[in-house]
Amino acid sequence: MSENPSLRETERDVALNGPLESVSLSGLGTGPALIVLGAVHGNENCGPNAIRRAMAACRSGELLIRRGDVTFVPVANPKAYLQQTREGDRNLNRDLREKPAPVDYEDRIGNRLCALLRRHDVLLDVHSFRSEGEPFVFFGPENNQGTLEAFRHAEAEGALAACLGTGIAIHGWLENYARLLAARARIGLPAVAISEGYGTTEYIRFSGGYGVTLECGSHDDPASTEVGYAAIVNTLAHLGLTDGPRPERRPQTVIHVVDIIVCEAEGDRLEGSWRTGDAVAAGALIARRANGEPVTAPCPGYIIFPHAAAKPGEGICHFGVASARRI
Ligand SMILES: [Zn+2]
């Protein structure tokens, strides 16, 4: 089909200028409103694949929605998905908020996405990652009334995170993003507000709900679609939208990300072939500065999102420690 230039042009026009597709099913009984997002990053195909499979299962009755509402957004970023790139014009999962005067593609999509998120109570955002490693879930802060991310659904969010089927749960994203921004300022990159670190889960917490980011494993791992689909099935059962036994809470390795090693100059690089979730001993060599200076683990911990090709201003990897939180 795609050899035909006019069809290819139409496909492109739909992706760049077409609507944001969402499909909602309303159960006949009352229950919470769940939204499931895929392809917030366009090269993470496990989300669209898992969500389309779940949509078909809902229509066939294999997954019968009896209560509440579920909205599926298989492709949250159609431009990036068409291109099979992480971003269209920019990262949709940053600085996500309503913008009355949108300036780029993600601003326009973000306005529609924020409106959708506001209408829902719970978010499952399905992603995959560049490096190798076990699937894991990002969840949010403890209940608090602070200025960074006020929140009151920590218990419900933790319970959701623990039943998706993964065994690693990570928190501390926004505080760590502030560390990244501080490092960028140190090397003279333009200052940006902390709202840069706000993505889909931060937005739904802001609008009164809760949500988690599921990282289904490596982009290219076909198993990532299975991880995503199992998590959707578990979420529907956990929230009572479908019947059947509630999924068990898996024991979690809970990791608090407490630092980010930032590439501050050309030549700063990762040392070794780390995978996301790898445990490291105190003193282990993680990275090396361009001048040869080693960067070592300050205490026992974990490597998250190692990025061998990080450029100045990007994270070489996040560093986490065993968390005192239990979910
Ligand atoms: Zn992603």
Sign of CA dihedral 74, 164, 114, 200: negative
- pTM, entire model: 0.95
Fold classified for 258-327 = OB fold (Dihydrolipoamide Acetyltransferase, E2P) (2.40.50)
Percent of the chain scoring above 90 in pLDDT: 89
Asked if residue 254 has pLDDT above 80, the reply is yes
212 CA to centre of ligand 1 in angstroms: 12
Q: Residue 48: pLDDT band by 50, 70, 90 thresholds? A: very high
91 CA to centre of ligand 1 in angstroms: 9
pLDDT of residue 143: 98
Backbone angles phi, psi at 253, to 5 degrees: -80, 110
Query: What is the token pair recorded at 137?
Result: 């879930």
Asked if residue 1 has pLDDT above 70, the reply is no
The predicted model gives 186-206 an average pLDDT of 94
pLDDT of residue 6: 82
175 CA to centre of ligand 1 in angstroms: 19
Element spanning 296, H or E: strand 294-296
Asked if residue 191 has pLDDT above 70, the reply is yes
Q: Residue 66: pLDDT band by 50, 70, 90 thresholds? A: very high
Of residues 307, 309, 317, 312, the one with CA closest to residue 131: 307
Q: Which CATH class name applies to 5-251?
A: alpha beta
Buried b (16+ CB within 10 A) or exposed e, 239-253: bbbbeeeebeeeebb
In the chain, where are the structural domains located? Answer: 5-251, 258-327
Of 11-15, 52-56, 64-68, 75-79, the one with minimum mean pLDDT is 11-15
pLDDT of residue 267: 95
66 CA to centre of ligand 1 in angstroms: 30
275 CA to centre of ligand 1 in angstroms: 16
How far is 128 from 224, CA to CA, in rounded Å? 7
How far is 298 from 282, CA to CA, in rounded Å? 6
The predicted model gives 68-83 an average pLDDT of 97
327 CA to centre of ligand 1 in angstroms: 23
pLDDT of residue 3: 61
pLDDT of residue 244: 80
pLDDT, averaged across the chain: 95
- Indicate the DSSP class of residue 20: P
135 CA to centre of ligand 1 in angstroms: 12
94-139 residue pLDDT tens? 999 999 999 999 999 999 999 999 999 999 999 999 888 899 999 9
The predicted model gives 13-21 an average pLDDT of 91
How far is 85 from 68, CA to CA, in rounded Å? 34
The predicted model gives 65-94 an average pLDDT of 97
The predicted model gives 69-91 an average pLDDT of 97
18 CA to centre of ligand 1 in angstroms: 22
